[in-house]
Amino acid sequence: MTHASAPPQITEPSPSLLRLAGFPYFLIAFIARLPFAMMVVGVLTVVVSARGSLSLGGLTSAAVGLGTACFGPLLGAAADRFGQRVVLVVLALANGAMLLLFTFVVYGEAADGFVLLAAVGIGATAPQVAPLSRSRLVTIIADRMPEARRAKTVSGTMAYESAADETVFVFGPFLVGILASAFAPWAPLVGAAVLTVVFVGAFALHPSGRHVSQDRDADGRAPSAVSELFRPQLLIVVLGILGVGIFFGTMLTSLTSFMADRGAPEQAGLLYGVMGVGSAVLALGVAWLPPSFSMRARWLIFAGILLAGTLLLGFVDSPGTMMLALAIMGIGIGPTLVTQYSFGAARSPRGRSATVMTMLGSGVVVGQSIGAAVAGEIAENVGTSAALLLPMIAAFIAFGAGVANWALSSERRTRSSVTA
């Protein structure tokens, strides 16, 4: 007797994140970041042109960063509480209006104090597209992907998001220069207002905006208590990313001073791009690192490379040697930032992922603002050599936080938290 054999079962592979979110999502989320990248430089450009004061321009740019840093985590908490869609729609309209209002104020007869107040309003209403995109994608991964693929997908997602941020922050100032040169100094802010309303609005209304974490609603559990946001394992990540932000601010400012001493301050951006390109490429490469290369080890090693690159700043004496130091720093900074965001995603309390991501994003902004302000004062009053010491201090903060993170985590706990 013969028995009919059962046909082999074909299991379809689980869909990728690109398929789950859709390609239009990534395109919209990328363009929606541009206005934020244009704001600080656009504000500086229009204030210097309209008011003729470089000092006021610098203060105004810092005011934008201050508004973002103070209100960013609150907006993240609101997104966790009320959902991203309603919060982003309100912010898209409010921020577009604030950009136009600032343009009218700066060209009007209002006192400088009102200009600074309007700048704080721009930062306070800035849509937190980058951290909210991270939160949204991590939620999709946790809810709709098999557990075995989550850790690698989260790592790859953080790598892409960091590379996207760096690309936008290179292209944003470039777009400001084009619009200001082709039309008028106010054009970048008007352009940013249009992009905010259109693309941040599209980002808010994208179907993924309705996606809610299973941890929050499926079993009826409420989000974790606010006190969970102040655990040492999470605060050390905030400290580490603050060090990265300080590095960004001090490095660009001291590099500008370095090139100004050689009569070519306008070339500082070109040299800075050497670090930015390498950082973006290496950030994307983190997704292909083997699982045996643990996250806490990545933080230490890549932050160590960053620290080693900054130590070379004590010996640079030409644009060529500066370029070499920046290239080494680029190897370390991108993967360090990706790893920190990955730790933030892994350690986010239930229902608080948007809050954590905006905390980390605000840490970068605060550090960058503090670093730029301090480095500018030291470069002007003490000298470039003293200013070049500041990136070393910032890199040491990032590395020291990595050492503390090693002590606060274990291999088993780190790996399990990523897939939890």
How many independent structural domains does the chain possess?
Answer: 2
408 plus 300 within the same structural domain: yes
Task: Write down the pLDDT at residue 88.
Answer: 92
Task: Write down the pLDDT at residue 222.
Answer: 57
Distances (CA, A) of 210 to 22, 79, 134, 160: 14, 12, 15, 22
Task: Write down the pLDDT at residue 410.
Answer: 65
| DSSP character string of 135-179 | HHHHHHHHHHS-HHHHHHHHHHHHHHHHHHHHHHHHHHHHHHHHH
Task: Write down the pLDDT at residue 100.
Answer: 94
257 plus 396 within the same structural domain: yes
170 plus 251 within the same structural domain: no
168 plus 299 within the same structural domain: no
234 plus 111 within the same structural domain: no
Task: Write down the pLDDT at residue 68.
Answer: 85
DSSP 94: H
Distance CA 103, CA 95 (A): 12
Last residue in a domain, options 156, 178, 212: 212
- Altogether, the residues listed in the chain come to a count of 420
202 plus 233 within the same structural domain: no
Last residue in a domain, options 152, 186, 212: 212
Q: Please report whether residue 389 resides in a domain.
A: yes
Task: Write down the pLDDT at residue 323.
Answer: 92
DSSP 208: G
Q: Chunked in runs of 10, what are the mean pLDDT values of the chain (420 residues)?
A: 48 68 87 84 78 72 83 84 88 94 91 91 90 84 78 78 74 73 85 93 85 45 69 93 89 83 75 78 78 89 95 92 93 89 83 80 80 80 90 96 90 45
Last residue in a domain, options 212, 241, 263: 212
Domain that holds residue 259: 226-420
27 plus 144 within the same structural domain: yes
Output b/e per residue, 369-384; b: 16+ Cβ within 10 A: bbbbbbbbebbeeeeb
Q: Is the pTM of this model over 0.85?
A: no
**Two structure tokens written together for 380:** 């002007």
26, 198, 342, 78: CA torsion to nearest 10? -140
173 plus 309 within the same structural domain: no
Q: Which residue do the tokens 């301050």 mark?
A: 265
